[in-house]
Chain A
């Protein structure tokens, strides 16, 4: 018994759970919300299809209870014969025979009119939410206590204002509007609303054209024209156009920009502006619908009309028609903006720019450095030339007495010859041949004086290093000539052993003469204490088979002081009492610049030998 009773209890619990489960399922089934959506045209006629899509998605998505959606396409907007309502009414009643809908949602004014006409047969107690009709079409007076509407309030003049703001040069506006009853209504509304603009722009209406004609017209429109695409559900020939595909076809051929009226047209070829907001309308419709489904009284809801949102524009169209974004109203939204190169490749650009900048800085720095180096080099070259020149001047200063003598000799000769000539001419029977000789000698001596001065001028010349063919033997003769008086004064005998056919070298004759002058004068100075009879300088030249020319200046002086060894070519090192210490330094620099080497050694027989070798000038060497 106990066992049976236990058994019975277990069964009771089991069945209770099953019952509860079934009840729960039944309760859930009872909570399904039936929403009847009525479409005025078909499923796919903008803007209603867009509004419906938005509403549908919102209400299904946000409803706490499952939505059982019934959608009926009336096509009344195109047919518009109230006598044809009956089959639709029957159909809907049949569709919803088991239970009245919890909410009737006519989308667009024609659908609202249908419900209003047939309300007695169609669930008079079910609440109705009119979606997306213009407030002008379903004024409050036409609604029952079960009715409410999330309606549009289109600000028609704003469309033209927008056009004129973006394209002030506009003279013609063609309005694309179809020829269905709804569109005829809107045509008259538009004509009224656009009336104030007719003194400024010429408005043409395409409502009595077929779409093909509209396209033809659009293709030929003047540049100052625009098209306002209002609504094309059905053209004058009665051809229906769904989902605004016609808009895209129009855009293909249109010679002028196309302006639209709603967000659903965005991206299909309209420039943009203040737009009807089908998405927002769907959302707000869903808000109102959900409240009604919760039990609120429709007439109490009274939701506000949906106005234009923030003006929105299609960047591609703005670019295509050359409309500056500066003309857009402040705060406008621009869609489809092509990401700029900057937006796409920002970091690459920054990195590359950074690298380029870095490189530029480096290059600038390097250029700056090299420029500074060049300047420094130029300056040091200038200073070197200055010093070379100064040492030449100082050498010539030392020689000034002798040089004066060199000039004085020809002057003496000239004066005496001239006076001799005068004396001759004063005689009764002048010896004219002798006078002529005197005059010829004057000419000769004058040239000689000029030569001395020319040599001097050369040595005093300041200038760039030149590269000329140099005959070293000539240079040596000229140098000794310049030193002639000084050599006599110091009782120094000069012996020249100059090689015949010495190859020509290349260089700056002034600088090379400076070197020779310096070496000979050093030799002269070195022999100040040498007994007079022994004072002699030997200058010799020799061509070498290795392609160089040697010049040696040998003296019989004191030789190189032991202490001076290794310092001879250092600047400001001198063994002379009044020496500057630059002579040999400069000579060495000059010879090095000529591709040679200056040497100074003691002679085994006493005295010193200074010498240098210079490369033979290549072209000259070949000629020889």
Chain B
């Protein structure tokens, strides 16, 4: 696994260099970018790490960059640093999920603390993601029938009812169900429901939809 990397974006070369130096001295892997576009171009969401973004930059400011990251499907935690810490901007940033909003000149303790939090969140997210990926991997091994049965089980229906819904016999359902539970590595229905929530598999709904949403593809 890659080392935790800090993606540093600031149009001011002096600041960029200084912050890089500070973070490196504290043992971080740092990737400095003086242009937001350059950063976006070279960004690899797979590498663990966080982004430290300057708010006011020519062309693309920090908040826009955050949006661009999110839009690109990256959940990379973001720490903002700004010369002008005005309240509306900071509120917008925090709402958009920023770890922190620091004003320049930034104290090392504040910055390192924020990066540590980002690190924690990153680890958390990564763990959750790997968990979800594991679930998805297991889900992908299910047959369409077994998957169908899963949604009905999650909806809390009995085997007999499921057999009725699917127009088959209870025994067949029992076989599907036990295979599905085996493939998913679960033993109780409660475990199954918790897992379904994590991957946002909704319960069966008679008109073919779950809570008004289509069942997400595996």
A interface list, Cβ under 8 A from B: 401, 404-405, 408-417, 419-421, 423-424, 427, 434, 437-438, 441, 444-445, 448, 485, 487-489, 491, 493
Contacts and interface: CB of A to CB of B under 8 A. Distances in A.
Contacts of B104: 408-409, 411-412
B12 interface: yes
Interface of B: 11-12, 14-15, 17-19, 21-22, 24-26, 56-58, 81, 83-84, 104-108
In this complex, the member of B11, B19, B25, B56 whose beta carbon has the largest number of chain A beta carbons within 10 angstroms is B25
Contacts of B22: 416-417, 419-420, 423
Contacts of B24: 420
Contacts of A405: 56, 83-84
Contacts of B21: 416-417, 420, 434, 437-438, 441
Nearest to B21: A420
Given A423-B108, A424-B25, A416 B83 contact: no
In this complex, the member of B22, B24, B81, B107 whose beta carbon has the largest number of chain A beta carbons within 10 angstroms is B22
12 contacts: A401-B84, A404-B84, A408-B105, A412-B18, A413-B18, A415-B106, A416-B21, A416-B105, A420-B25, A445-B18, A488-B58, A493-B58
In this complex, the member of A401, A411, A415, A416 whose beta carbon has the largest number of chain B beta carbons within 10 angstroms is A416
Nearest to A407: B83
A410 B14 contact: yes
B56 A404 contact: no
A435 to B, nearest CB: 9
B15 A434 contact: no
Nearest to B18: A416
Contact of A488 (B17, B18, B56): B56
The 9 residue pairs across chains A and B that have the minimum distance between CB atoms: A416-B18, A420-B22, A412-B104, A423-B25, A419-B108, A413-B14, A415-B105, A412-B105, A420-B21
Contacts of A414: 18, 105
Contacts of A441: 14, 17-18, 21
B21 to A, nearest CB: 4
B105 A488 contact: no
Contacts of B107: 415, 419
Contacts of B105: 408, 411-412, 414-416
Contacts of B108: 416, 419-420, 423
Given A412-B18, A416-B108, A444-B14, A489 B56 contact: yes
A415 B56 CA distance: 19
B57 A488 contact: yes
Nearest to A445: B14
A417 B104 CA distance: 13
A438 B25 CA distance: 11
